[in-house]
Structure 1
Amino acid sequence: MAAFWGASLLVSACTLDGGLASGPKSIDVLGGEITVVAPEGYCFDRRASRLAEGFTVATPCGASRLALITTQIGEADSAAVTGAENALLQLIQHPDGRALLSGAGDPSTIFVHHVQVHNHRVEVFFSDTASSLSDGLQPTQWRAFLDYQDRMVTVSVRWWDQSPLDQAQGLAVLRAAALALVGD
């Protein structure tokens, strides 16, 4: 199943003529309870997203920085980041927290390069050597944990082997995605 998602994400990112994908700039998830907005230059891929589960995939449609952005909206009343940012920051540096970052649930596959708190969210730059979506994607990624309305949200940014981003560029895309979602 993971290989299917990886392949569909890579195929959906580009059109057959090599152009960038197009799609909606905002999309409703969880039966219309939440609207997720893509940052400038990104569009949502309805085929790769699982809207009923609160999972979205945004791909470039005019972005200068080519990245794959995923957003997972948590269940109602799952918000837990605001006010507990430092505790989450500490957890991510512990094996239990690194296991949460791992595609395989294995903390030994995670190397945390940098973790920080910014605007009531925890931002993590890490590598996952066991990532199940690694075909054509770099093993490094940025992920943010934040609260939106009454829900915990994760936003992840990955980039392709053929157009890698550096740490600062990836962080800029992550922050743009968080800003588009929550507006701060």
Structure 2
Amino acid sequence: MPTTSTRLHRLIAGLALVSLTACGGGAGLANLTDGLGAGLSRTPPKSVDVARGAVTVSGPQGYCVDRAGSRLRAETPFVLLGACASIARDRSAGRPLQQGLLTVAVSPPDGGPGFAATLPQLETFLSSPAGRAALARDGLDTSVEVLETRREGEALLIRLRDTSATALPGTEATYWRGLFEVNGHLVTASVMSFANQPMAPDLAVATLRGVIAETRRASVAG
């Protein structure tokens, strides 16, 4: 049976890998923050099923799935979400009050212990060099500083600064990440601000809570 640290390391390492392959999609969204072109033929989806339908990833109001920047059929599915208007290039498609860039990765089920029962160990693990290395996009513990952790219900919220050179273009180094479980899958969600339009810290953590709540709600409903 996988240990807590092994589960977390596999998930975050998978997220780092698919984040690198999705940098083109992230850069595209960043380029659309300063102006929108003509509308596309259809509005992008507001949610998407991954992990063989076990998890439905859904963002807060105003956010849609960027299918071009996502990796939906990977072993560790990766979903990129941005302002609906930016993805559709149509102002009528809607946008959040202040837009950011959201990413969600979903681990394969591994039969490990329930997530809620492992929260204390996860929190301790993240403060260790191995935990910081697992969080870092470049895999180096020296690239990450864990600024704050919060346990909210059965979720762990982390505010961190990652100075890896592999960050998604146009985003700030400091961002929020949440870890939670849905139908036996460990899920990590990140809320990043654009450097030219920084998101207020309170709004960033509220957006993260929205991703967690909407994904849980949609997954149960589905």
TM-score scaled to structure 2, two decimals? 0.75
Partner residue in 2 for 1:8: 25
Instruction: State whether residues 65 and 173 of structure 1, in contact with CA within 8 Å, keep that contact through their aligned partners in structure 2.
Output: no
Partner of 1:70: 103
CA distance in 2, matches of 1:143, 1:150: 19
Unaligned runs of 5+ in 2: 1-16, 85-94
Q: Does 1:49 align with 2:104?
A: no
Larger radius of gyration: 2
Which deviations, in whole Å up to 9, do the C-alpha atoms of 1:5-47 show, x marking residues without a partner?
3232121456598239951011122343432222211000000
> C-alpha distance in 1, partners of 2:103/2:34?
24
Q: Which runs of 5+ in 1 are unaligned?
A: none
> CA 1:150 to 1:131, structure 2 compared with 1: closer, same or farther past 3 Å?
farther
Give the corresponding residue for 1:24: 45
Give aligned-pair identity as a percent. 26
Counterpart of 2:81 (choices 58, 61, 79) is: 58
Q: Is the 8 A contact 2:23 2:69 kept in 1?
A: no
Deviation at 1:83, TM superposition (A): 1.2
Cross-structure match for 2:135: 101
Higher strand share: 1
Figure out how many residues of one structure are paired with residues of the other and give that number: 184
Per-residue deviation, residues 123-160 of structure 1 (Å, max 9, x unmatched): 10000001412421100111111111111000011110
Task: Verify the 8 A CA contact 2:133 2:141 in the aligned structure 1.
Answer: yes
Give the TM-score, by structure 1 length: 0.89
AA of the residue aligned to 2:71? R
Pairwise CA RMSD of aligned residues?
2.5
- Partner of 2:28: helix, strand, or coil? helix
The correspondence of residues 1-184 of structure 1 with structure 2, limited to 5 A, is: 5-12=22-29, 15=32, 18-19=35-36, 22-53=43-74, 54-61=77-84, 62-77=95-110, 80-183=114-217
CA shift for structure 1 position 4: 6.1
The answer to which of 14-23 and 3-12 deviates more is 14-23
- CA separation of 1:119/1:82 partners in 2, compared to 1, >3 Å: closer, same or farther? same
